[in-house]
Structure 1
């Protein structure tokens, strides 16, 4: 099999999304896993002690697997369907099993342990040394030191955890797509902006319905909970959204994740115990900056003690306003967004619906790109030859001040069925330079903003602008890395309790007057 017969095997180019089908996944993994296994067999047999011979072959094999799975998992997140989901779940089980088998391979561990013990190792570049040191740590966290029975049990537990995690996410997505409410009386949408009503009408038309279709996609939920005067509608949407994939709410038990949650907790505790950790918290913190669970709890409790008095004052003020001005004597969770928006209008003449009129997505993206150029000297150049998976998606070359491409970026901004909720950054390709191949980093940046309708533009809230900048920080962490070892480049191998730093720094620009001026225009 070659990259001409299976697009997933073309791992040095950008993913050929338009050609990829669920049927390509298993054969591509067969091929790449076979090469991966042959690489490990050769390393164990030859026992090289030079970095280029010991580390780089395995890195190449794992980069191929990573490129295949990055494309598959991205499609699973943004264009889910029954066939893709089944192939994804099967593939994930195979990869987890393979990862644990590699992590528990004592002979391979000894190869890298011997490499780290050579006099030449200390003279290697820091990134090379850290990559090997992290790998040795990960061998230990995969149970390489366990006896045979414990190793086998740890592998079984790890595969089941991966399966449960995948099933959990699929249940949430299915529950999100399953609920809708068709509004046939426009008065039920009193308070909702014309732009949001156009979004609801377009959603109804897409299903051959007449009226306004409310769903559990984030833009739909936010529009109802923030603007709808109909309190019962707000309550129904809030309950449906908050009880997705549970034993409560309108689809009680149908997509229920309760047993999965209990089983995940049980398995995490067992896995931690097998590795010699007191509990899953200690296991988790083995790769993080926090010293122990006590330090985490102390931080959170201190934060709560500082934040709660201000939050309580805000809540008391909101309750009083809701009772006096809105006739809501018993403020409920589904009232908070609506009452807060009305309070902002009353105190500061700030109306979220009016604000959104100043953030048409095209204007926001112009200001966003100007900010990237001003801060980092980078520009985004659209590519028309990149294969895409949906009409909403775009691809850009990230170029420096000299016009040289230094990275790539997929941008997918709008909510739709089959796409998981929230906003995230993902790695399509890591930065890698091993002398044999130079790979520039490529990131996915995914949001769930309100899409444009036939007669209405896509308008962002100020919170959406903050989300855009937040995910930008994560993308920049990958796109601007100068580390050539994929396992520790960008967000990979980075302490997860520090990974939010770049995103929080970028999010602060959502409150900068000059930046907002450049990103806004009615």
Structure 2
């Protein structure tokens, strides 16, 4: 039997020996685990005894845990250290995995076992976790086509397999298109770029020169489309032509109109096929469109409810967005700009932030070195939830030297483990995310603690200094740790509904959005900021400026998220026949929502991985939906400041949030968990207040 288990630390962590995870052996391990699980499904025992049925389900689930683990390693490495060998191995196993997943969801024998358990929950003395897991499993069977005839089941399986391949190809193209661009810079083009930005561009230049050893460059600096390097130019470069060049390069990636010529990564046809197949899948299941399929397992009732929510929020945000734009237009005229273009807005925003709040985003970066931010974040989590992190990086194998590993403990002992891989680099997918690699689970045969991977694309360390985070990166780190806490703090020991598993997709972002609030609170900032060289705290004037600027351009940012959410909802609610129609829907949403219109060449949708390669199809609205929940929940902590000495770090309220939301995982509907914590349903007033839309 092939395995990559390492016994470096507590056996229950089941940590991976990443020193031995080569692509071919990983592929063989996935195929081995898949074969064992598939054979079990083919020879599934039948029974009329509910206790036996539950035992059979448990045996099959353990085989799936093994399969999820082996593929999880391969999938993770394909995201963070992608190479041709890893990519090929990953893509080679996708069709068989998709076929097995569909076969599982359409297994009448397995479905009947779950039905037998469901009909005898009282006899089995089932707890809430098992009851909820069975309920969700039966829903999954329905959405997987268990009731279809054989011909439709076969077509459903073909669609699922094809979608898995298309999504992987979409991600490949987005990554390859991003990495295909590099622009050596002249001395004149460096004007306005900050010292930390120059350091990032120099690191990109070093990488470029290593790949092109015979090249002769005008300077040591190279612009790329990796987010830290891209923003270093877009926010600060005085050269408007340079900003325009990078804007078009970034926003035409993976399209047929790529401004830098790499049309081989065009995702247009892939997007069209993905939407057509999702629509066909919905029709097979008896739904009108894919949005109905998506919402069947979410908090929101239907797309009308979501549209009303998003449009109401847009109504409140639009006056503030127009005021944001007016500020930029005034400044633009003083700089000789007759018309504000999208490549001007990040640059003007930074100048207005400095003028209005005396806040220079780059000047505060030295006060947020990553080690200090992490230490403060751990302190905040400890105050709120009574847990502590212990670094064990030196004790575990890792997939890259940048990676750190931490154990999480409470007063009763070890709770789980968390890897951090935070810096942008070649071969790494863009964005930031938590991979809930290993869920908490305990039964008569196995006990495993939760382990997760938090991945980011933050500014890397330069020279002798540690990584100096932008405040946006600080907020992103808090966001991903919210997901991490949801994964790690669960008390549920049934993997199907432990941690994030089984939580409705539009509630998954509640803990992550919630944790962001502590990064922009004055007490939180005091814990996470200290000058990298002097150790001095963030000066009072900069702290005041940062707090005052909390909702800077919140109107524009909110409309942008609403634009994405409505676009996602509408392309999945229509029977679109081609790529041009996808663009037409996006243009229509922009006409309705946006106050800054991008140029016709903009192809943002071609790298919208959340919906074309991730889990957010017909669900991108979840970010704003969950922000409503999180703002409301955080309001409970804010109100405690008037009556307690703990400020927003009230341990009693923190413990209630932990016990009613974080620890419950998916063992009950998310709405029930929210109401259990708040004592009532949601109130949009908190979101409007937190967004700065209440004068």
| Length-normalised TM-score, structure 2 | 0.72
Q: Compared with structure 1, are the counterparts of its residues 153 and 12 closer, same or farther at alpha carbon in structure 2 (3 Å cutoff)?
A: farther
Residue of structure 1 equivalent to 2:27: 26
**C-alpha distance in structure 1 between counterparts of 2:282 and 2:236, whole Å:** 46
CA contact (8 A) 1:322 1:339 kept: yes
Cα deviation code 1:433-486 (max 9, x no counterpart):
112221100111111111012255421111111101011111111000111111
Aligned length: 517
How far 1:47 sits from its partner (Å)? 5.8
Unaligned 5+ residue runs, structure 2? Answer: 210-214, 532-695
Separation (CA, whole Å) in 2 of partners of 1:161 and 1:41: 24
Query: Contact (CA 8 Å) 1:190, 1:229: kept in 2 or not?
Result: yes
Q: Which residue in the other structure is 2:566 paired with? A: none
The question of 1:441 aligning with 2:442 is answered: no
* Structure 2 match to 1:286: 296
Q: CA deviation at 1:307?
A: 0.8
Matches within 5 A, 1:408-447: 408-447=417-456
Q: Which structure 2 residues correspond to residues 1-16 of structure 1 after superposition, within 5 A?
A: 1-3=1-3, 13-16=14-17
Distance in 2 between residues matched to 1:37 and 1:15, nearest whole Å: 24
- SS of residue paired to 1:397: strand
Structure-2 residue corresponding to 1:114: 116
SS in 2 for 1:245: coil
Q: Which has the higher contact order (CA 8 A, sep 6+)?
A: 2
| Structure 2 partner of 1:331 | 340
CA distance in 2, matches of 1:46, 1:31: 28
Over 3 Å counting, the alpha-carbon distance change for 1:373 and 1:315 in structure 2 is same
Looking at structure 2, the residues matched to 266 and 421 of structure 1 have their Cα atoms a distance apart, in angstroms, of: 26
Alpha-carbon offset, residue 240 of structure 1: 0.8
Confirm whether residue 400 of structure 1 aligns to residue 374 of structure 2. Answer: no
Aligned to 1:275: 285
Q: Could you say if the C-alpha distance between residues 2 and 257 of structure 1 is closer, same or farther in structure 2, counting changes exceeding 3 Å?
A: closer
TM-superposed CA distance for 1:107, in Å, is: 1.6
How many angstroms apart in 1 are the aligned matches of 2:5 and 2:432?
33
CA contact (8 A) 1:6 1:24 kept: no
Q: Write the mapping of 1:258-407 to structure 2, written as runs, cut at 5 A.
A: 258-324=268-334, 326-383=335-392, 384-402=394-412, 404-407=413-416
Q: After the TM superposition, which of the residue ranges 124-133 and 47-56 deviates more from structure 2?
A: 47-56
> What per-residue deviation string (whole Å, max 9, x for no partner) do you get for residues 130-172 of structure 1?
1111111111111110001000000001111111111001100
The two structures have a TM-score, normalised by structure 1, of 0.95
Aligned counterpart for 2:160 among listed residues 137, 158, 174: 158
Deviates more, 1:39-48 or 1:96-105: 39-48
Separation in structure 1 between the aligned mates of residue 469 and residue 6 of structure 2, nearest angstrom:
39
Q: CA deviation at 1:123?
A: 2.4
Query: Does the alignment pair 1:125 with 2:127?
Result: yes
Note if contact 2:200-2:228 (Cα within 8 Å) is conserved in structure 1. no
1:467 maps to 476
Q: Is the 8 A contact 2:102 2:144 kept in 1?
A: yes
Distance 1:227 1:455, change over 3 A: farther
Distance 1:327 1:126, change over 3 A: same
Q: 1:289 to 1:186 in 2, by over 3 A?
A: same
Q: Which moved more, 1:109-118 or 1:121-130?
A: 121-130
Secondary structure in 1 aligned to 2:367? coil
Q: Give a deviation string over 1:247-298, Cα, whole Å, max 9, x none.
A: 1221352200000011111111000000000111101101101111111111
Counterparts in 2 of 1:68-217, with a 5 A limit? Answer: 68-118=70-120, 120-121=122-123, 123-183=125-185, 185-208=186-209, 210=217, 211-217=220-226
Q: Retained in 2: the 8 A contact 1:410–1:443?
A: yes
Task: Report the RMSD for the aligned CA atoms in angstroms.
Answer: 1.9
3-state secondary structure, aligned to 1:406: strand
Kindly indicate whether the alpha-carbon contact (under 8 Å) linking 2:13 and 2:451 is maintained by their aligned counterparts in 1: no
Structure 1 unaligned spans of 5+: none
Q: Is the 8 A contact 2:196 2:362 kept in 1?
A: no
Cα distance in 1 for partners of 2:496, 2:98 equals 16
Pick closer, same or farther for the CA change 1:393–1:121 going to 2, 3 Å. farther
* Equivalent pair of 1:115/1:121 in contact (CA under 8 Å): no
**Would the aligned equivalents of 2:199 and 2:462 in 1 still touch at CA under 8 Å?**
yes
| Deviation larger for 357-366 or 228-237 | 357-366
